[in-house]
């Protein structure tokens, strides 16, 4: 057995919960008075981790976006991992908006996290980038707890999750 304890740092939205939130939002759109007589659509592309909103005008797309945000919050999807794009004109005078979901830690953020953790001067804490997540190892569990506490106090623009702890 390895003398080092470790944990992984990752990020991402649970796509099943996002799908559930999209379905709930579509049901509410069908029932709400302010959306009667309009054609608003919400589509989730799981492979690309993108949500497409389309509505008749800017006011309705903003209302649709706000409705989707409330459903995502209720399903415990971190809004830090949701990047809302700009509205763009679509065919027939309609408005379209793309919302991207962050799945995995981007390279620039991963490098910044590594730099910040190493800058803390925590003894024997090793951090390595492994694809779209990070692994932190140390012989001391207390050092790992210090790393977690430090990272929770920082803001990298994404929701960090700590898991796969191995003592």
| Residue 120: pLDDT over 70 | yes
> Tell me: the pLDDT tens digits for 22-33?
999 999 999 988
pLDDT score at 125: 86
| Residue 2: pLDDT over 60 | no
> Tell me: the pLDDT tens digits for 41-98?
999 999 999 999 999 989 999 999 999 999 999 999 999 999 999 989 888 889 999 9
Average pLDDT for residues 111-120, to the nearest whole number? 90
Q: Do domains 5-11+105-166 and 15-101 have the same CATH topology?
A: yes
Looking at the structure, give the CATH architecture of the domain made up of residues 5-11+105-166.
2-Layer Sandwich (3.30)
pLDDT score at 1: 47
| Residue 37: pLDDT over 80 | yes
Mean pLDDT is lowest, of 42-56, 97-111, 122-136, for: 122-136
Taking the domains of the chain in order of start, what are their residue ranges? Answer: 5-11+105-166, 15-101
In the chain, what percentage of residues exceed pLDDT 70? 99
Confidence label for 36 from pLDDT (cuts 50, 70 and 90)? confident
List Cβ<8 Å contacts ≥24 apart for 64-71. 64/25, 64/29, 64/40, 65/97, 65/99, 67/25, 67/28, 67/29, 68/21, 68/22, 68/25, 68/42, 68/99, 71/21, 71/22, 71/24, 71/25, 71/28
Confidence label for 165 from pLDDT (cuts 50, 70 and 90)? confident
Topology given in CATH for the domain delimited by 15-101: Alpha-Beta Plaits (3.30.70)
* Top-confidence residue, 1 or 51: 51
pLDDT score at 86: 92
């Amino acid at each position: 057995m390895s003398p080092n304890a470790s944990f992984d740092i990752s990020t991402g939205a649970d796509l099943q919960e996002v799908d559930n939130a999209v379905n709930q939002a579509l049901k509410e759109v069908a029932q709400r008075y302010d959306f009667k007589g309009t054609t608003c659509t919400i589509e989730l592309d799981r492979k690309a981790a993108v949500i497409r909103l389309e509505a008749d005008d800017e006011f309705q797309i903003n209302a649709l976006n706000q409705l989707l945000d409330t459903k995502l919050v209720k399903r415990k999807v971190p809004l830090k991992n949701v990047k809302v794009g700009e509205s763009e004109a679509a065919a027939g005078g309609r408005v379209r908006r793309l919302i991207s979901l962050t799945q995995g830690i981007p390279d620039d953020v991963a490098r910044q996290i590594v730099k910040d953790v190493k800058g803390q001067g925590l003894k024997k804490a090793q951090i390595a980038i492994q694809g779209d997540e990070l692994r932190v190892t140390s012989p001391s569990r207390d050092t790992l707890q210090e790393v977690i506490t430090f990272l929770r106090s920082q803001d990298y623009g994404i929701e960090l999750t700590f898991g796969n702890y191995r003592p």
